Amino acid sequence: MSQVTVEQFANAVGVPVDRLLTQLGAAGLSVTRADEAISDKEKLALLKHLRESHGEVTPTVALEPKKVTLKRKIVSELKQTGAPGKAKTVNVEVRSQRTYIKRSVVATEEMGRQEAQLADIQERDRQSIEALETLKRQKAVEEQQKQEALDKQAQQARLEAEQEARLKAAQTESIKVEQAAAGKAKAPADTTAAKAKAPVTPERPDAAAKKGGKHRDGKETKYGRQELHVAAEKLGHRKKKFTGKYSGSGGGVTAKHAFERPTAPIVREVAIPETITVAELAQKMSIKAAEVIKLMMKMGSMATINQVIDQATAAIVVEELGHTPKLLSESALEEELAQVDITGGGEKFTRAPVVTIMGHVDHGKTSLLDYIRRAKVAAGEAGGITQHIGAYHVQTEKGMISFLDTPGHEAFTAMRARGAKITDIVVLVVAADDGVMPQTIEAIQHARAAGVPLVVAVNKIDKPGIDPERVKQELVQHGVVPEEWGGDAIFANVSAKTGAGVDALLDSILVQAEVLELTAVRDGPASGVVIESSLDKGRGPVATILVKSGTLRKGDILLTGHEYGRVRAMLDEAGKSIDEAGPSIPVVVLGLSGTPNAGDVAIVVAEERKAREIALFRQGKFRDVKLARQQVTKIEDVFTQMEKGKANALNLVIKADVQGSAEALRDSLSRLSSDEVQVRVLGSGVGGINESDVNLAIASQAVLIGFNVRADAGARRLASESGVKLHYYSIIYDVIDEIKRSISGMLAPEIKEQIIGLAEVRDVFKSPKLGAIAGCLVVEGAVRRNNPIRVLRNNVVIFQGQLESLRRFKDDVNEVRAGTECGIGVKDYNDVRPGDQIEVFERIEIARTLS
Ligand code: GDP
Ligand code: MG
């Protein structure tokens, strides 16, 4: 085979035959015809000649970069020496192709390469022959084996006939089970598939129709089918597994049978709700959860078996595995609901304002609410027994006002964080004898963030020697400017104790309400918000609902959050039974299926069936998780959107260790505002980050910044539940720089601090040798000897430095893990006290990516 004609050689090296012949002649070789054979020796001689004449124009070298494609095709015949009469001839073809590119500038190299080519051709010739020979040998061996197998098979024929029957039965059984498991499998499996000698996955008609090409990327196997449950790169591997599995479960069938007929995929229609766990998803496809996890890992997300994944992700997984995802839409149901236009249509009437009372602790919020309720709620007739139902409304000569009876900004912001905006006006209670206090400022920030106007009630004016004017001045410093000083805040001096000025306060509220021009539709089905709910022993679930629009009537079918039911009875705040309630009226509703959450929207629907359907759908146990997840994306989006230049406002909530830092941050960050991006500091204060801060951040989609302060346990829990990220800093410049970068969309690798451990100081010992040693319990992560640390007191950073020593009993150690006690000596700091926390952190560089 190594003999090649001149013509073939010319074709192979891409030179015209004539020219090659000339060159051969010039090389002193006696080859003159195109069909003459050219030996290896002659090829080398030609090469030598060409190399010697280098510099002259030799076509193979002087051509511009040019491709040389070498193609080898060797055909030979194999005779099968099988059973007598069965002998047949098989053509064996060996093909090889390689492309080379030559460049004139690297002529010498080119020569080398040509030489290599020639050598290559020779080598490949040799290899081809060898390959052929090997093939021949293999064929022979295989033939022999086949023959043996055939003999065996003949012996087993009867045995197998029996097995077949058994298998058929088992197959039908397993199909049933599978269908039951999938719950959705529609078409009955084609049991004829079970006729195959080997156990195969039954093929359904629709599956057969699809296998032609519907599947992803046309990853067809040699059987012309698509593999199911297999990621693209894993086809081969999975196939083996499959076969093994089926032959294994087939019950004593020899493995070779599994090859005789390919398995056919079951294409399932997998119904995916808005959220689903990995385990459930796997179950719906009748595969192991591990397969789903593996696939997701390949898709770049780490999932656990119980992890809830969203619909979109689940759909990708389902498609990837060759099934058809069917997205169950909750919105379809909800949209149907929304078609019943609640607000539109009807004539709008002025409605009563809904008021929340906020202020610092002990400034008299509860007292004021109590006084107003006692004095104004028509409870007299009902025997003076008023009950706390979370809200009440009062009728004054000038109009009606509804009060939310849970004072404080926690409730207010928590509601807002849940998406319920029900408060129209905030009454800010400030005790005249105490003045503006931290929670007063928080309340202002919360009201402002919600865009709700303030009416200030300067309380406790009955007390001797107080100065209401001083309160005004203090409030001005926080941007609350009284009307008489050119601002828009209405002030009223009151005494929750004596009731002095309360009427004037109510008037002020109504004046403010008039400015707001609050209106609502009075007719039509009601919608409202749940204020609170409880389970009453005698009456079952009880919910207080503030009607926002329409009129709620006894007998209406109410859908609220996860619950629904026919309104069996309605009570007002005095405990009196009522038949209907219009806008801004709070009512107690009996008859719901359970206790809805505060902040849930309540709407009246026409059909009980529909209400139940939606309530049940919403009850999907992962709904809350999903809400939390939505929050995650929402909150994190703020920064990402900024970086992408999409958002045009950045809300910040800042907590700092000292007033000076808080102010400095507020000023310098606010100043970063430009025409394109507005930086709004919604709240800034001193002290650790608390739940209220987190709620404010959730409600306003704000970035939470802790400057030398940390979040307390409650805030951390809320933050992680709702996906709010806590941004800790210790250098003002870092804060400004990061915000600046996120605004300008510039992404630089950032050095992030990551807290790796937290220890609580239980006791402090004085050691003559080591100074103060803090006896600590590691409560989170691990404390490492060589990492930087901070000492926290009341969640505020009081020292930053390093560890002098880390000991477990009497031994120096490098690391102490959570749940373990240890002795910590802080370098250059001797004032560690019991109750302090020691935070261990590390600095890592994170390359930031867009997307
Ligand atoms: P809250 O924490 O804001 O709800 O405040 P409270 O309503 O519980 O009141 C705290 C304390 O201040 C209680 O002892 C009240 O009696 C007292 N207090 C509330 N309002 C007044 C007031 O107008 N005058 C006087 N002298 N004491 C009041
Ligand atoms: Mg109170």
Secondary structure, 3-state, 424-444: CEEEEEEECCCCCCHHHHHHH
**Nearest-angstrom CA–CA distance, 554 and 506:** 31
Q: How much is the average pLDDT of 86-94?
A: 59
Q: Is the pLDDT of residue 373 over 90?
A: no
Confidence of residue 365 (pLDDT cuts 50, 70, 90): very high
Q: Which residues on adjacent β-strands are paired with residue 604?
A: 558
Q: Is the distance from CB of 550 to CB of 347 less than 8 angstroms?
A: no
* Token digits of residue 547: 């009607």
Query: Which range (149-158, 312-321, 604-613, 835-844) has the least confidence?
Result: 149-158
- Report DSSP state, residue 445: H
C-alpha 351/C-alpha 609 separation (Å) is 32
- Please say if the pLDDT value at position 227 is more than 60: no
> How many A from CA of 497 to the centre of ligand 2?
14
For the record, the structure tokens of 22 come out as 């000339």
Give yes or no for residue 631 having a pLDDT over 50.
no
Contact 469, 442 (CB under 8 A): no
Amino acid found at 713: A
Question: Ligand 1 site: residues with CB under 6 angstroms?
Answer: 359, 361-367, 407, 459-460, 462-463, 495-497
From the CA of 463, the nearest ligand is: 1
In this predicted structure, the answer to whether residue 396 has a pLDDT above a threshold of 70 is yes
CA 385 to centroid of ligand 2, rounded, Å: 20
pLDDT at residue 457, rounded to an integer: 97
Contacts of 281 (CB under 8 A, 6+ apart): 270, 272, 289, 292, 309, 314, 317, 318
Dihedrals φ, ψ of 87, to 5°? -60, 135
Tokens encoding 524: 């039509």
Ligand nearest to the CA of 365: 1
Residues in the chain: 851
pLDDT above 90 as % of the chain: 23
- Which has more pLDDT, 557 or 240? 557
Helix or strand or coil: residue 403? strand
Please give the pLDDT value at position 186: 41
Closest ligand to C-alpha of residue 496 is: 1
Give the ligand whose atoms come closest to the C-alpha of residue 367: 1
Pairwise CA distance, residues 204 & 187, whole Å: 7
Average per-residue pLDDT in the chain?
74
- Tell me the CA–centroid distance for residue 652 and ligand 2, in Å: 29
At 276 the pLDDT is 79
Q: What is the mean pLDDT of residues 7-22?
A: 78
DSSP E strands in 710-749: the ranges are 726-729
How many whole angstroms from 460 Cα to the centroid of ligand 1?
7
Residue with the bigger pLDDT between 40 and 76: it is: 40
Q: How far is the CA of 410 from the centre of ligand 1 (A)?
A: 19
Ligand 1 atom index nearest CA of 361 = 2
How much is the pLDDT for 194? 40
Lowest average pLDDT, out of 182-186, 457-461, 493-497, 550-554, goes to: 182-186
Contacts of residue 132, Cβ cutoff 8 Å, sequence gap at least 6: 74, 76, 92, 94
pLDDT on residue 126 = 67
pLDDT reading at 158 higher than 80: no
Report residue 255's pLDDT band, with 50, 70 and 90 as the boundaries. very low
Cα gap 684→592, rounded to integer Å: 41
Query: What residue type is assigned to position 260 of the chain?
Result: E
Per-residue confidence (pLDDT) for residue 790, from 0 to 100 = 92
| Long-range CB contacts for residues 174-179, cutoff 8 Å, separation at least 24 | 175/202, 178/266, 178/286
Ligand nearest to the CA of 440: 1
Largest CA distance in the chain: 132
Q: What's the Cα-to-Cα distance from 423 to each of 145, 366, 417, 514, rounded to whole Å?
A: 86, 17, 13, 15
Distance CA 225, CA 264 (A): 7
Nearest to 656 by CA among 719, 690, 705: 705
Which of 760, 794, 793 has its CA nearest to residue 777?
760
pLDDT tier, 10 (very low <50, low <70, confident <90, very high otherwise):
confident
* Window from 111-115, 472-476, 540-544, 823-827 with minimum mean pLDDT: 111-115
Q: Cα–Cα distance between 110 and 736 in angstroms, integer?
A: 60
Query: Shortest CA distance to 546 belongs to which of 520, 572, 584?
Result: 584
User: Closest-lying ligand to the alpha carbon of 431?
Assistant: 1
**Atom 25 in ligand 1: residue holding the nearest Cα:** 460
- Three-class SS state of 607: coil
Per the CB < 8 A criterion, the answer to whether 117 and 96 are in contact is: no
Closest ligand 1 atom, residue 360 Cα: 3
Ligand 1: atom nearest CA of 369 is: 7
Give 358 Cα–ligand 1 centroid separation in angstroms. Answer: 13
Give the mean model confidence (pLDDT) for residues 143-168: 61
Pocket test for ligand 1, best of 366, 367, 369, 372 (most atoms within 8 A of CB): 367
Report how far ligand 2's centroid is from the alpha carbon of 586 (Å).
Answer: 21
Ligand 1, pocket-test mutation among 360, 362, 430, most atoms within 8 A of CB: 362
Percentage of the chain lying above the pLDDT 70 cut = 66
Query: pLDDT value at position 106?
Result: 45
3 versus 638: which is more confidently predicted? 3
Q: What pLDDT does residue 335 have?
A: 58
Ligand closest to 370 (CA) is 1
* The predicted structure's pLDDT at residue 298: 82
The residue type found at 25 is G
| Cα separation, 426 vs 489, whole angstroms | 11
Of the spans 509-513, 605-609, 696-700, which averages the highest pLDDT? 509-513
Q: Which ligand is nearest to the CA of 388?
A: 2
Interval between CA 495 and ligand 2 midpoint (Å)? 15
- Looking at per-residue pLDDT, the higher value among 199 and 29 belongs to 29
Q: Report pLDDT for 425.
A: 95
More confident residue, 788 or 234: 788
Mean pLDDT of 343-367: 86
Which is more confident, 742 or 515? 515
Ligand 1 atom nearest 370 alpha carbon: 7
Measured in Å, residue 352 CA sits from the centre of ligand 1 at: 27
More confident residue, 486 or 642: 486
Q: Which of 143-147, 586-590, 641-645 has the lowest mean pLDDT?
A: 641-645
| Residue with CA at minimum distance from ligand 1 atom 22 | 460
Task: Encode pLDDT of 47-83 as tens digits.
Answer: 777 776 654 444 444 444 445 555 555 556 655 554 4
Between 168 and 780, residue with greater pLDDT: 780
How far away, in angstroms, is 757 Cα from ligand 2 center? 37
Alpha helices in 436-501 (DSSP H): 438-450, 468-476
Q: At 473, is the secondary structure helix, strand, or coil? A: helix
> Which residue would you say has higher pLDDT here, 182 or 44?
44
How far apart are the C-alpha atoms of 458 and 435, rounded to whole Å? 9
Residue 415: half-sphere exposure toward Cβ, Cα within 13 Å: 25
- Identify the weakest region by mean pLDDT among 217-231, 402-416, 452-466, 699-713: 217-231
pLDDT of residue 847: 52
Cβ neighbours of residue 105 closer than 8 Å, sequence gap 6 or more = none
Q: How far is Cα 238 from Cα 227, in angstroms, rounded to an integer?
A: 8
Per-residue pLDDT band at 384 (split at 50, 70, 90):
very low
Q: Which residue has the higher pLDDT, 526 or 125?
A: 526
Give the pLDDT mean for 766-779.
Answer: 85
CA distance 780 to 759: 7
CA-nearest residue for atom 9, ligand 1, is: 364
Residue with CA closest to ligand 1 atom 20: 364
Considering just the CA atoms, what is the radius of gyration of the chain in Å? Answer: 41
Query: Which protein residue has the closest C-alpha to ligand 1 atom 11?
Result: 362
Query: Does the pLDDT of residue 737 top 70, yes or no?
Result: yes
Bigger pLDDT: 488 or 232?
Answer: 488
pLDDT-derived band at 430 (thresholds 50, 70, 90) equals: very high
| DSSP run (H or E) holding 782 | strand 771-784
The closest residue, in CA terms, to atom 10 on ligand 1 is 362
The answer to whether 145 and 137 are in contact (CB under 8 A) is no
Which residue's alpha carbon is nearest to atom 6 within ligand 1?
364
pLDDT tens for residues 669-708? Answer: 888 887 777 888 888 888 889 888 888 888 878 889 999 8
Nearest CA to ligand 1 atom 2: 362
Q: How far is the CA of 364 from the centre of ligand 2 (A)?
A: 7
Distance CA 562, CA 469 (A): 49
* Residue 592 DSSP one-character state: -
- Determine contact, residues 402/585, Cβ cutoff 8 Å: yes
Q: How far is the CA of 409 from the centre of ligand 2 (A)?
A: 12
Identify each DSSP E strand in 292-360 by its residue range.
308-310, 324-327, 348-350, 354-359
For the cut 70, the answer to whether the pLDDT of residue 608 exceeds it is yes
Report the candidate in 95, 104, 58 with the shortest Cα–Cα distance to residue 75. 95
661: confidence class by pLDDT, cuts 50, 70, 90: confident
Beta strand pairing call for 557-560 and 601-605: antiparallel
Please provide the DSSP assignment of 814-830 as one string.
SEEETT-EEEEEETT--
Burial string for 469-498 (b: 16+ CB within 10 Å, else e) reads eebbebbeeeebebeeeeeebbbbbbbbee
Would the pLDDT of 339 be above 70? no
Half-sphere exposure of 835 (CA within 13 A, CB side): 5
pLDDT at 574: 81
Q: How far is the CA of 507 from the centre of ligand 1 (A)?
A: 22
Distance 407 CA to ligand 2 centre (A): 7
Q: How far is the CA of 394 from the centre of ligand 1 (A)?
A: 21
Closest ligand to C-alpha of residue 439 is 1
Which ligand has an atom closest to residue 363 CA? 1
Quote the ligand 2 centre to 599 CA distance (angstroms): 21
Distance CA 529, CA 548 (A): 7
User: Is residue 592 over pLDDT 90?
Assistant: yes
Residue 721: pLDDT band with limits 50, 70, 90 = confident
Neighbours of 463 (CB within 10 A): 12
Q: Which atom of ligand 1 is nearest to the CA of 463?
A: 26
Average pLDDT score over residue span 263-287:
81
* Dist. CA 537 → ligand 2 center (Å): 27
Q: What residue has token string 């081969």?
A: 236
- Residue 398 CA to residue 38 CA, distance in Å, equals 117
Taking the chain, what is the end-to-end CA distance rounded to the nearest angstrom? 59
DSSP 261: S
Q: Please give the number of the atom of ligand 1 that sits closest to the Cα of 496.
A: 23
**Residue 638 reports pLDDT greater than 60:** no
For residues 763 and 775, is the Cβ–Cβ distance under 8 A?
A: yes
* Ligand 1 atom index nearest CA of 495: 23
The answer, yes or no, to whether residue 338 has pLDDT greater than 50, is: yes
Q: Is it the case that residue 235 has pLDDT exceeding 60? A: no
**Percentage helix, strand, coil, to 5, in the chain?**
40, 30, 35
Higher local confidence (pLDDT), 598 or 342 = 598
Q: Residue 67's CB: how many other CB atoms inside 10 A?
A: 9
Instruction: Give the model's pLDDT for residue 20.
Output: 77
User: Residue 680: enclosing H or E segment and its boundaries?
Assistant: strand 678-686
Residue type, 646: K
Please report the atom of ligand 1 found closest to the CA of residue 363: 3
pTM over 0.75: no
Residue type at 162? E
d(CA 100, CA 11) in angstroms, rounded, equals 14
Of all protein residues, the one whose alpha carbon is nearest to atom 18 of ligand 1 is 364
Q: What is the pLDDT of residue 746?
A: 46
Comparison of pLDDT for 372 and 231, the residue scoring more: 372
For 472, list phi and psi in degrees, rounded to 5.
-55, -50
Closest ligand 1 atom, residue 498 Cα: 23
Nearest CA-CA partner of 484 in 500, 468, 499: 468
Distance from residue 533's CA to the centre of ligand 1 (Å): 27
